[in-house]
Amino acid sequence: MKKEITGSATLLNGLIAEGTKTIFGYPGGAIMPIYDALYDYQDRIEHILVRHEQGGIHAAQGYARSSGEVGVVFATSGPGATNLVTGLADAMIDSTPLVCITGQVYAHLLGTDAFQETDVINITTPVTKWNYQITDAAEINTVLAKAFYIAKSGRPGPVLIDITKNAQLQLIEEQSYKTCEHIRSYRPKPIVRQTDIEAAAKLINGAKKPFILFGQGVLLGKAEQEFKVLVEKSGIPAAWTLLGLSALPTNHPLNVGMLGMHGNYGPNVLTNECDVMIAIGMRFDDRVTGRLDKYAKQAKIIHLDIDPAEIDKNVKTTVGIWGDCKETIPLLTNLLDKKEHVEWVQKFKSYQAEEEKQVIQSELHPSTEKMTMGEVIHQLNQLTKGDAILVTDVGQHQMVTCRYAQFNQSRSNITSGGLGTMGFALPAAIGAKFGAQHRPVVAVIGDGGFQMTIQELGTIMQSNVDVKIIILNNEFLGMVRQWQQLFHDKRYSFVDIASPDFVMVAKGYGIAGSRISERKDLVSSLETMLNHQGAYLLEVMVGKENNVFPMVPQGCSVSEIRLS
């Protein structure tokens, strides 16, 4: 006779079988049986107690983004589950693989407005790739295996499993766990059509001014090496989206910079000059395209993506290649002529030189009394040599960091892209460190976003997480203030934000730190932070009304980008 175990133990055995090493979570009444079972699994699986469920799911995102594995988070019913929603929406739009486990009230109480009962399935349906409610422990293994398969296959995303308390407590016969490798009617890896590859290659080989746009799909497909070979054989200049950053080393001679609203001058202007555009693993987000009716109208568009919904969604393609870029990129590369587009690449360099003169020099080597965000990132680059993982929050510091950070390795840039979630960076940095323990992790955060999840300093304290935190404090909600200055006649409406003594707050959590406001202290303070054993918080006071340029004003074409 087989041994009987609880649904909770069944779940934990399944997580271990899926290779889960770390769980982020917060206990509560409806998930208490799972936490009770977890007591006996502490030597087999690591649980990190966060201070808020939103912090838990952002930490799981950071873990997934730095490791390339599925992030796992636990939360209880009611407010515990609803506190996950922002992170679910963030993970959904940024294609981050997560498995979220929520506790739920007893099955017989469903629909009675029981204590801490919410309809988590209907609440989370729009922000999950798949969700499911388990009321019988016999379903746990099958549903969990399906959840992991859906989360990480095809275009990744978050999955949520809601488990009623009776199912957690129920005794069932112990079963062997089988991973899922197929679901009827779900095709995560499409069949590549060779005719599309051939049509795309013909267009590229005949192009005079081809241009590659690459996004996070290259990272998610683990196709960084294949992509590098494509770029180098074709000789085509390549620019990245916010989430594509680090898929190609920043200093690669054909890496021409960042696309979009606060991207580099050349990639934006020359979008409307290229004759063939090759988009790989990106979704033509509005922050990249600006006005669609003025976007690359002269170009033939080739779009490689694993999600058929993205092809022709925003920009009409000439050739759409549906498939996993790990497979499609080499097939395309094999048919390309080896070329060097010397004059075309030089045009990007000319625009870069203009941007250097008008924007970059004054940002990285300012003559102003107050420090700039750009010079802080520049000095950080000098010290980390491009090998650190940088986790950014949302705002001016995010754009500056992504513009000026140097990366030698992939999965080095972790930020909230599509949703733009303030408060993301601190918990995401915690998760990123657990996902890549051998690499230095630096969170770069604004004074506004830091206060949204400041309580996660408690997680750092209790779990002894070695993350470095840089707060770039301009005493404003900087990005909103920039828009109010430029487009609302400098009517600063509720963007002047007061902050506590961040260094003293960190000290209260047993975290070392310092605050600087003078340029002469910058390099030595960064060195102290990076060399410190354990977590460290460095607050840097920067200019209050500095703006991030270049900038494509909302409602404008990308070629109308402003340098000042």
Residue 544 has pLDDT above 70, yes or no: yes
| 319-333 average pLDDT score | 97
Annotated domain spans of the chain: 4-173, 194-348, 371-541
Alpha carbon 3 to chain centroid, angstroms:
42
- The DSSP bridge partners found for residue 214 are 240, 280
Tell me, yes or no, if the two domains 4-173 and 194-348 fold the same way: yes
| 138-150 average pLDDT score | 98
Residue 1 has pLDDT above 70, yes or no: no
Give domain 4-173's CATH number out of 3.30.930.10, 3.40.190.120, 3.40.50.970, 3.40.50.300: 3.40.50.970
Q: Which two tokens stand for residue 108?
A: 């017989």
| 400-405 average pLDDT score | 95
Of the listed 4, 115, 208, 340, which one is catalytic?
115
pLDDT at 562: 92
| Predicted confidence (pLDDT) per residue in 461-505, tens digit | 999 999 999 999 999 998 999 989 989 999 999 999 999 999 999
Of the listed 261, 479, 529, 551, which one is catalytic?
479
Residue 273 designated active-site: no
User: Which percentage of the chain shows pLDDT scores above 90?
Assistant: 96
| Predicted confidence (pLDDT) per residue in 111-133, tens digit | 999 999 999 999 999 999 999 99
pLDDT at 564: 87
Instruction: State the chain's mean pLDDT as an integer.
Output: 96
pLDDT at 143: 98
Alpha helical stretches, state H, 42-110: 53-67, 79-82, 85-93
pLDDT at 2: 78
pLDDT at 241: 97
Residue 514 has pLDDT above 80, yes or no: yes
Q: Which two tokens stand for residue 304?
A: 């490689």
Of the listed 18, 24, 53, 133, which one is catalytic?
53
Of the listed 152, 165, 300, 433, which one is catalytic?
165
pLDDT at 554: 85
Q: Give the CA distances from residue 429 to residues 387, 466, 551, in Å, rounded to whole numbers and listed in that order.
A: 15, 10, 28
Burial class, 438, CB count within 10 angstroms (exposed 0-12 / middle 13-18 / buried 19+): exposed
Element (H, E) at 270: helix 265-271
Q: What is the pTM of this model?
A: 0.96
pLDDT at 189: 87
Of the listed 46, 69, 116, 198, which one is catalytic?
116
CATH of domain 194-348: 3.40.50.1220
CATH superfamily of 371-541: Thiamin diphosphate (ThDP)-binding fold, Pyr/PP domains (3.40.50.970)
66-70, 544-548, 558-562, range with greatest mean pLDDT: 66-70
Residue 258 designated active-site: no
| Predicted confidence (pLDDT) per residue in 231-267, tens digit | 999 999 999 999 999 999 999 999 999 999 999 999 9
Residue 165 designated active-site: yes
Asked if 557 and 294 count as a contact pair (C-beta separation under 8 A), the reply is yes
| Predicted confidence (pLDDT) per residue in 418-450, tens digit | 999 999 999 999 999 999 999 999 999 999 999
